[in-house]
Amino acid sequence: MAARDEPPTLHSKRSLNLRFNIPISKTSRFWDSLAQGKFVTTKCADCGKVSFPPQADCPNCMGGNVEWVELGTDAELLTFTFVQITPTSFVDHDPYVVAIGRLKEGVNVLAWIEGADPAKLKPGEKLRIESRKDPKGSAYYVFVKA
Ligand SMILES: [Zn+2]
pLDDT at 50 over 60: yes
* Sheet (strand 40-44) strand order: 50-51, 40-44, 66-70
What's the chain's average pLDDT?
Answer: 90
pTM for the model stands at 0.79
Confidence of residue 127 (pLDDT cuts 50, 70, 90): very high
At a CB cut-off of 8 Å and minimum separation 6, what does 67 contact? 42, 43, 44, 45
The residue ranking higher by pLDDT, 26 or 146, is 146
Q: Please report, for the chain, the start and end positions of each structural domain, with discontinuous segments joined by +.
A: 25-71, 72-146
pLDDT at 35 over 70: yes
Nearest residue to 102 (alpha-carbon basis) of 71, 76, 141, 72: 76
pLDDT at site 25: 74
Q: What is the CATH number of domain 72-146?
A: 2.40.50.840
The residue ranking higher by pLDDT, 31 or 17, is 31
Amino acid at 75: A
Distance, CA 79 to ligand 1 centroid (Å)?
A: 28
**Across 110-123, average pLDDT:** 95
What is the rounded CA–CA span in Å between residue 74 and residue 113? 13
> How do residues 80-101 score in pLDDT, each as one tens digit?
999 998 888 888 889 999 999 9
Cβ atoms of 113 and 80 closer than 8 Å: yes
Distance, CA 102 to ligand 1 centroid (Å)?
A: 21
Distance, CA 54 to ligand 1 centroid (Å)?
A: 13
pLDDT at site 89: 81
Confidence of residue 3 (pLDDT cuts 50, 70, 90): low
Q: Is the dihedral of CA 103, 58, 34, 22 positive or negative?
A: positive
Distance, CA 30 to ligand 1 centroid (Å)?
A: 19
Q: Residue 31 burial (CB < 10 Å; 0-12/13-18/19+)?
A: middle
Q: Residue 35 burial (CB < 10 Å; 0-12/13-18/19+)?
A: middle
Q: Residue 74 burial (CB < 10 Å; 0-12/13-18/19+)?
A: middle
pLDDT at site 2: 52
Confidence of residue 13 (pLDDT cuts 50, 70, 90): confident
Cβ atoms of 96 and 118 closer than 8 Å: no
